[in-house]
Each structure stands twice: as C-alpha cells, then as structure tokens.
Amino acid sequence: MIELFYASTPNGRKISIMLEEIKFDYKITEINLSKGDQFNPDFRKISPFSKIPVITDHKNKVSVFQSGAILIYLAELSGKFYDASNRNLINQWLMAQMGDIGPMLGQHHQFHHYNPGKSKFGEERYFNIAKRLYKDLDQHLSTSDFLAGKKYSIADIATFPWIARHNWHDIGLKNFKNLSKWYEKISERKAVIKGYDCLNTGEQIPKI
C-alpha cells in the first residue's frame, strides 16, 4: 500500500495521477497547507523541507519526497511510463518541469494570481517568462506527440498539472495549438481525470 501525503496543488496532483495510471492501491493523507500541517514534526521526518507530496511505500518500508523523485520511484516500481530505451530524454523533460516550468509558473501564480498589484516588476517578469514557456512548449510539441517523444511518460504527468492552471496564467492556452492538443489529449485519460479529483470533491480539469 502506498500512502500519499497530499494537497490539491500541481505537485500533489502529479502523484495522484501517476498512482491512478499505474493502478496501484493507495490511500491519501491530506496535508492542510493553510493550517500548517506541513510543519508538523512527524511530517518533517519524511519531508525535510516541509513540502508535499511525499509517499510512504509501506510494503517496502521506504518514504520518498520530491515529486520528480516520487515519479521515478513509482515508474521503476511499476515498469510504466519510463521506458529504458528513452530514459535520457524523459529525464531531460522531467528535469525541465522540476527546474523551470514548475518554479517559474509557481512564481507567476504568486505575483499574478495571489498577490496582484503588489509588485509590477514581479508581475511583468513572471508573466513574460510564463508566456515564453508556453511558446517553447508549443514549438517543441509541433514535432513531438508527447514531451519525450511518441509515448506518454512521467515527463507529461509532471508537466500537465501545471498547465492545468492555465486559467490562472491569463496567457490564453487556446492560442497555442500544439500545447492545446497535448493538453486535451491528456485531459481525456481516465486515470488523469480520476487522479485530478482524487479527493472526490467534484473538481474538474479546466477546459481550454
């Protein structure tokens, strides 16, 4: 049994989607970020930076923090979405999400969505970076079905929940044909739909 320490954020949803895709039994322990659950000493034993997501694999008696590391762990454990023959390219696009797409869109959320009007510099800087990321992804997907080639992989699973916040970005996902096609294709996957609403609150994947 996998225990997922979770909140409904893009990073949290990466893992719930992956668990649905690989059809592993799992249970959710919800971490209420607004109440500070992430700073609980017991949680910090498995998450030294007080971040979600974290998993505990009770069968193998191991905990894993950092969403990218969790995706790799689950992919290796299940043998899915991490083809050995294409691992180098998958790793590159996974790290692109971890080091660029996620952090930059996260900053865009902070300035543009949560704290508008507090920093013109911050709002303009991260809006422009977010728009550039959309353009770069759109260009890449003009010649590739998925981020790491012809097959759906953990790189797509990692990136999708961040693009699913496109309504927060105010960039206009519909203006990026190839990125939109990729987004819609993934949005239709049953495991993605279920994993996106793993708390069964009725939350739906945002339409374009």
State the Cα–Cα distance between residues 175 and 134, nearest whole angstrom: 10
pLDDT value for 10: 97
- Report the pLDDT value the prediction gives residue 164, as an integer from 0 to 100: 97
Low-confidence ranges of the chain (pLDDT < 50): none
Whole-model pTM: value is: 0.96
What's the pLDDT at 201? 96
Q: How far apart are CA 16 and CA 47, in angstroms?
A: 18
DSSP one-letter code for 49: T
In angstroms, the CA 105 to CA 115 distance is 14
- Give me the domains of the chain, ranges plus CATH numbers: 2-81 (3.40.30.10), 84-189 (1.20.1050.10)
pLDDT digits (tens, 9 = 90+) for 52-101: 999 999 999 999 999 999 999 999 999 999 999 999 999 999 999 999 99
Per-residue model confidence (pLDDT) at position 65: 98
